[in-house]
Structures are given as C-alpha cells and as structure tokens.
Homo-oligomer: A and B are copies of this chain.
Amino acid sequence: MRLVLGQLVDALGDAVSTDAATLVAAQADKSGHRSASAPLAVVSARSIADVQSVMRIATATGTPVVTRGAGTGLAGGAIASAGEIVLDVARMDRILEISEADQLAVVEPGILNGRFNEILAARGFWFAPDPASRAISTVGGNIATNAGGLLCAKYGVTRDAVLGLKVVLADGRLLDLGHRSVKGVTGLDLTALMVGSEGLLGVIVEATVRIRRAVPGTVATIAAYFPSVTDAAAAAAAITSAGIQPAVMELMDSASLEAAATLLALPGISTGEAHLVVQTDGPAAQEEANAAYAVIGSLGGRAALSTDLVEGERLLAVRRSMHPAMERLGTTLIEDVSVPRSALPAMFAEIVRIEQHYGIRIPTVAHAGDGNLHPNFVFSGTEVPEKVWQAADELFGAALRLGGTLTGEHGIGILKKRWLGLELGDDQLDLQRQIKQVFDPLGILNPGKVF
C-alpha cells in the first residue's frame, strides 16, 4: 500500500491527497450509504495523462480504482473503501468545443450538467439529460449511470445524447469510441456499452455529446389535484393516450403530497389527495396543454394552467419541495423502479400493499410520462433497517413482475447488487461478467459494485 502511494505521489505530485477529510468524503455519496473504511488516497486528475498514470500504477500493483465525479450517486456506485484509489475527475471540467453547426459539444467528464447547460443556454442550445441532480451532478457521472430525469419520455435518456467517448482502460491505454457524425455503425457499439457501465469498464475522460437547439414556443404548466393516486395515474395515462406528449409529467402520491403540503403550509389539501404536474413545450405547447387540462377536468381533477414563466414555477413548487419534505421526515432511501406506463396504477397498488404489510409509509413520486417511480423509504438513523430492505425486495419483485426494472435511472452500485440476478438471470449475468473481464482482466475497476 505504501508502495502504491509512493508511486502515485512520484507520478502525480500534489494531485494525490491522503487528507483525512478528503478520504472520508469519498466513502459516501448521496445514497446515504457509507463504506466501512477510508480509501488509500484520492487522486484529483487534471488531464487524460493523469488518469492514464493512475491506471498504469493501479494495473502494475493490482490496486482497485473507484472513479468519482461529484459524488451525487444514489446507489453507492462511487463509494470507496480501504485499499482503493479514488480517481476523482471533478477537476477535469472544461468544455473543449461547442459546435453549433454540428449540434454537438466535446466536454471533460467533470463539468456539472447545470453549468454546462448555463453555458449552452447563452448560445441558444441545451443538453437534454436532466437528472434532478443536474445542478450538482457531472456529465461524466450522468453518462456512467445513463442518467434519466424528468424529460425522458419526450427527449430521451443520456445514452441517446452520447455520440462518442474517450475512455482510459484499466491498463492505461486510451480508447477513442464513437464518432462526431449523427450516424455511424462501424463495428460493435462500445460507446453505448460504456453508457451506464458504472465505472466497471473504463474511465470516461472525454465525451462528444449531442446538444439541441432551445425549444421554440411557450412552456405551459398545469398543476392538478385528484382525490386519489389511482385517479391521478389514470389521468396521466389518459393524457398520453390522447396523443399529447408532455415534456414533464410528474405524479406525487398522497404521502408525498401530505409531506410537501406540511413543509409549504399549503392550504386546502384533503387526505388521500394526489398531485399531477404537466408541462408542455414546443410549437404546440398551448394546444397540448389545453387538451391535457380538459382530460384532467373530465377525470375529476381540479387544475390550474399557466403559460406565464413565474406562475409556472409557482405551480411546480409542490413537486420541487419533495426532497426537502422527505428530509424533514427522517433518513430517506430513494428507490427507483421503472415499469411500463400502463402498469403505473398496478405498481401504486403494490406500494399500498407493501405499506400495509410492513406498517410503513412509502411516499412515492413518479415520472408518469415514462413509468419511473421513486418510492421513498423513510427511517431514523443512518443504516437502512432490514425491514426496509425486505419491503424494497417486495417492491423490486413487483416491478419485475409488471415488466419493469430494478432501476430506471440510478444504477445498481452497491445498494442493488443482491437483486441483479433476479432481473438479468444467470445466463445474462454470466455474459456481463465476462464482458467486464475483457475490459478489466485484473478486476481493479470499481470492484464490488454492480456484480
């Protein structure tokens, strides 16, 4: 270990930190999970060459490496433990190119999604992946987890926005994957394979991503209240069935709404009520919003609609208060199952069943446009109680039975490892492990995560 540290310091100088606070910070992410012991060192890479140096030393010495950006993950995917090198790419945060003509940008992995979007906005462009963490999460982390967000039904997931990647392999070699053109089918699509690979296959050191021209037209926002979550889910389904394509369609069940109403001192919310927020954009925004408003009314919702930006923000306030509202209740494990849109009511029914069976409340928000639910397990203390894991286990089983998935956008990391086989099956799991081995024969990249 001392040998490894010496080699790192020799090669990378003051980019290597063994400062206690720095090491402790790398033991946790935003999942609430924390590793049992501090890593060996944190290397704050400034360049591709730095990353290559780290990986060469790691390979030569068989030392595990955990790549880390802003540490905002929700699955423990970038948490480090004893004996591991943390390869921090947060300082590699430059925008190397913005091509308006080719509608692409080339960025380093550490740039924050929100910062990147601010710079693009000034030029009339935007980067579509919009995880709720966008203000604090990095583009590299978004790519490593194939991050989703609120806009995915209309604007796609992160994978759809990645054209090419530069990746440093476990042994320090630099790969250049993908292309700058819209199309390209030369060989196997390793760019797509890297997206969502959670640090298992290589270190993403540069990304060529699609940028979009700012959407013209107004943005219309509708905030609606329904007597029950089933009614709200039915309205969401009816909106999609009516041929309306909202940019945002967010659903809060009664436990979520109750917590938000308490936090915001919101008047007039009855017990059991659920909340649905819809935003439309583009040239047909007003027309689509009117149609959605009519659907909501016909299904028993009371709603407000506005195309005013300030008023629109006010209508979003309840949904935006979800996280602070949860934080007031206790420690939160934010789950992330995803089901086909039509299965949303069934999934909410399963959540009610699990709540009753375990005698707990599971406030749940859903990206209703794409079927991704975030059930929040709230508990006291810092360790997830076994009862919560049992309830989560039932939740995962239900999502899979409904044709869904364990994780819509957060990833497997450490927290969902034990359920991976349940979704993939043994044959696929075995193939995935073998692919991991092709990229990382020594098993030094983010060991103990995912598999």
Contacts and interface: CB of A to CB of B under 8 A. Distances in A.
Interface string A137-157: 000000001101000110011
- Most chain B Cβ neighbours within 10 Å, of A100, A156, A181, A427: A181
Contacts of A424: 186-187
Contacts of A411: 185
B183 A101 contact: no
B159 A189 contact: yes
12 contacts: A101-B341, A102-B341, A157-B183, A160-B160, A175-B431, A177-B428, A182-B369, A183-B408, A185-B196, A187-B420, A187-B428, A188-B436
A338 B99 CA distance: 17
B185 A104 contact: no
Interface in A192-216: 192-193, 195-197, 200-201, 213, 216
Interface in A408-451: 408-412, 416, 420, 423-425, 427-429, 431-432, 434-436, 438-439, 450
Contact of A181 (B196, B403, B410, B416): B403
Which of A367, A369, A403, A410 counts the most B-chain CB atoms under 10 A from its CB? Answer: A403
Interface of A: 99-104, 124, 145-146, 148, 152-153, 156-157, 159-160, 169, 173, 175-177, 179-190, 192-193, 195-197, 200-201, 213, 216-217, 237, 240-241, 243, 245, 282-284, 287, 338-342, 367, 369-372, 403-412, 416, 420, 423-425, 427-429, 431-432, 434-436, 438-439, 450
A145 to B, nearest CB: 6
A338 B428 contact: no
Given A188-B197, A192-B159, A183 B338 contact: yes
Contacts of A182: 152-153, 157, 338, 341, 369-372
A340 B180 contact: yes
Contacts of A156: 156, 160
Nearest to A420: B187
Contacts of A175: 425, 427-428, 431
B189 A195 contact: yes
Contacts of A160: 156, 160
Contact of A184 (B213, B338, B450): B338
A405 B156 CA distance: 24
Contact of A405 (B124, B181, B217, B371): B181
A146 B439 CA distance: 24
Nearest to A421: B187
Contacts of A102: 340-342, 371
Given A160-B156, A193-B192, A372-B182, A173 B427 contact: yes
A342 B157 CA distance: 25
Nearest to A243: B213
Contact of A410 (B185, B245, B410, B439): B185
A423 B405 CA distance: 36
B186 A405 contact: yes
A187 B410 contact: no
A378 to B, nearest CB: 24
Given A102-B340, A182-B370, A182-B371, A188 B432 contact: yes
Contact of A100 (B216, B241, B338): B241
Given A188-B196, A284-B284, 10 more contacts: A104-B340, A177-B428, A182-B372, A183-B370, A185-B405, A185-B412, A186-B405, A189-B192, A192-B193, A434-B438
A405 B185 CA distance: 8
A420 B240 contact: no
B189 A371 contact: no
A187 B427 CA distance: 13
Contacts of A243: 124, 213, 216
A408 B428 CA distance: 29
B339 A181 contact: yes
A169 B439 CA distance: 21
A371 B213 contact: no
